[in-house]
Structure 1
Amino acid sequence: MAAITAAMVKELRDKTGAGMMDCKTALSAVDGDIEAAIDWLRTKGLAKAAKKAGRVAAEGLVAVALSGTTGVVAELNSETDFVARNTDFQALASNIAKVALEKGDDVEALKAATYPTGSTVDEAVANAIATIGENMTLRRVAQLKVSAGLIGSYVHGAVADGLGKIGVIVALESTGKQDELAALGRQLAMHVAATNPVALDLASIDPEILAREKAILAEKNAGKPAHVLEKITESGLKSYAKEYCLLEQAYIHDGSKSVGQVLKEIEGKVGAPVALTGFARFALGEGIEKEEQDFAAEVAAAGGTTG
């Protein structure tokens, strides 16, 4: 029997989209013949994933999972919204988020992690593609942890527990009362879902973004004295922070206060200092270019006409 090398397994996987163990099994079954292994996988229904890999997957689900002081939000994409209602797809998204609680938010490392069935996460996705018949992509994952306190969460447009169109997690560091923190965490997560902040505060914003904002302010006020421009820039950045920085935003549940003020005020109820140390917000399909479909052309093609 021919020796099955890692390079052979990789080549077969690249050609078929099948899982690594399936590729190794196929190669072993046909004595290392790549083309025969492709046929072997096709007969088993495991090479279907490759045919679908080029299709745009911008639908699907955002999954949220919590365990103790750790929280995860993950996005698993599919081609159509219909698949998001498939219970097998829902279980896949939910299980991947649970695996990420332990493995973290490195997507490639997560794909190689062990899925509850014993395969890898990547193989579980490939098998779902073959079974359900649509391209799927594990797009991104975010994980938050606190040493004391909890991770608050909110799922918008939920189709099942922890699964929906928008998923948010927020990290609250505190030794205070858990019930008060839990209520606050959900309210803050709802706020993040509604306002989509860029960062916690100005100090957390990408320096390139801040530099661009300063350049815009400078261009708008070109010709003014340096000390005047400095004050204008400072004021402009404060306005920017109130719109895009979570701690400075007007709280959606009480517009008379900022999120930062709400955190300070609730410390009395919680019985200890409360720090909002991080957040993650995933909206399904954001940033993915969807293919424009000409419905009339599709109907004409299905009917054998070209218009």
Structure 2
Amino acid sequence: MSKISASMVKELRERTGVGMMDAKRALVDVDGDMDKAIDLLREKGMAKAGKKNDRIAAEGLANVYVAGNTAAIVEVNSETDFVAKNEMFQDLVQNIAKLVAENKPATMEEALAIKTDKGTIDSDIVEATQVIGERINFRRFDVLEKDDNAAFGGYLHMGGRIAVIAELEGTTDEGAAKDVAMHVAAINPRYVSKDQVSQDELDHEKKVLTEQALNEGKPENIVEKMVIGRMNKFLAEICLVDQPFVKDPDMTVEKFVASKGGKVKGFVRFEVGEGIEKREENFADEVANQMK
């Protein structure tokens, strides 16, 4: 019998929309022949969701869940934003976040295999795809763990269009952590502090700013001072702790957190659909095609 690799299972899942174990069993039954496996699943009526798989799922919801010293953030995609208002889809996303926090999977394969009341996360997604009628995709997740003397703050913007988990250390003030998460949702910093910015990025920005100053006709003897000032402004724009706090712009995020006895350890921010290339649709053409 041919060896059934994880990549083969993944390809069959992507082409048919069935669950992970169903895809593996089908491949085993046909000795690894992809086309025969697809036919087998179609014959069994299990590839109902398969036709939806070439559609782009770039809408959906993100969610966060905190379970003691563990927090999870997830993104589950759908094809249209209408599905985000579907109660079954909302429950699915919330349940996935809870189960990921409780089980702490290390990979997406482990996450999809987590047991649920009805089967697994994977099979629940397939069921939702078939019931709702749109392609649904569990795109990504992250799991954070903290010490007892620390705080998680979760925040959802627009009902889950943006989700953030912020972690503070040195304080257990969850309200302050939630305020920082709200700031992250609004301002979208790239780093916690300038220590996380790579030297390559710093060198590149310095080069660009230097050329800008020279092109402005500034004397070389003041260009260096100008670049230092602009570099500081650049770092303040991309680094969380240096940004004016949204709820009190007179202080930085770092000073706000310090007033609560802590410091920012990290954050994770998911915005639904970021990085996914959306297909441009011509509505008139779409309607015309459906009427043929």
Range of TM-score over shorter length? 0.7 to 0.9
> Could you tell me the percent identity over the aligned residues?
40
Q: Counterparts of 1:107-256 in structure 2 under 5 Å? A: 107-117=107-117, 119-147=119-147, 148-158=149-159, 164-174=160-170, 176=171, 178=172, 181-222=173-214, 228-256=222-250
Aligned to 2:272: 284
The answer as to 2:63 corresponding to 1:75 is: no
Distance 1:139 1:28, change over 3 A: closer
Measure, in 2, the Cα distance between the counterparts of 1:239 and 1:15: 48
Measure, in 1, the Cα distance between the counterparts of 2:281 and 2:220: 53
Measure, in 1, the Cα distance between the counterparts of 2:104 and 2:201: 27
Conserved in 2, the CA contact under 8 Å of 1:59 and 1:77? yes
Aligned residue type for 1:156: H
Distance 1:105 1:259, change over 3 A: farther
For residues 9-64 of structure 1, what are the alpha-carbon distances to aligned partners after superposition, in whole Å with 9 as ceiling and x for unaligned? 73754653422322355567789887665444225442133322221111110011
Quote the offset at 1:82 in angstroms.
1.8
Aligned residue type for 1:133: G
Conserved in 2, the CA contact under 8 Å of 1:57 and 1:135? yes
Quote the offset at 1:253 in angstroms.
0.8
Measure, in 2, the Cα distance between the counterparts of 1:76 and 1:108: 12
- In structure 2, runs of 5+ residues without a counterpart are none
For residues 49-94 of structure 1, what are the alpha-carbon distances to aligned partners after superposition, in whole Å with 9 as ceiling and x for unaligned? 3322221111110011111122221111110112222222222222
SS at match of 1:221: helix
Quote the offset at 1:203 in angstroms.
1.3
Aligned residue type for 1:168: V
Measure, in 2, the Cα distance between the counterparts of 1:38 and 1:224: 67
Measure, in 2, the Cα distance between the counterparts of 1:289 and 1:4: 36
Quote the offset at 1:262 in angstroms.
1.1
Measure, in 1, the Cα distance between the counterparts of 2:233 and 2:33: 65
- In structure 1, runs of 5+ residues without a counterpart are 159-163, 268-273
Aligned to 1:6: 4
Measure, in 2, the Cα distance between the counterparts of 1:302 and 1:113: 37
What's the TM-score once normalised by structure 1's chain length? 0.80
The answer as to 2:63 corresponding to 1:55 is: no
CA RMSD of aligned residues (A): 3.0
For residues 191-250 of structure 1, what are the alpha-carbon distances to aligned partners after superposition, in whole Å with 9 as ceiling and x for unaligned? 111111111111112444323211211211349787744433322221112222110101
Quote the offset at 1:173 in angstroms.
1.1
Quote the offset at 1:257 in angstroms.
0.7
Quote the offset at 1:121 in angstroms.
3.3
Quote the offset at 1:139 in angstroms.
1.9
SS at match of 1:122: helix
Aligned residue type for 1:172: L
Measure, in 2, the Cα distance between the counterparts of 1:134 and 1:188: 35
Conserved in 1, the CA contact under 8 Å of 2:244 and 2:250? yes
Conserved in 1, the CA contact under 8 Å of 2:152 and 2:165? yes
What's the TM-score once normalised by structure 2's chain length? 0.84
SS at match of 2:275: coil
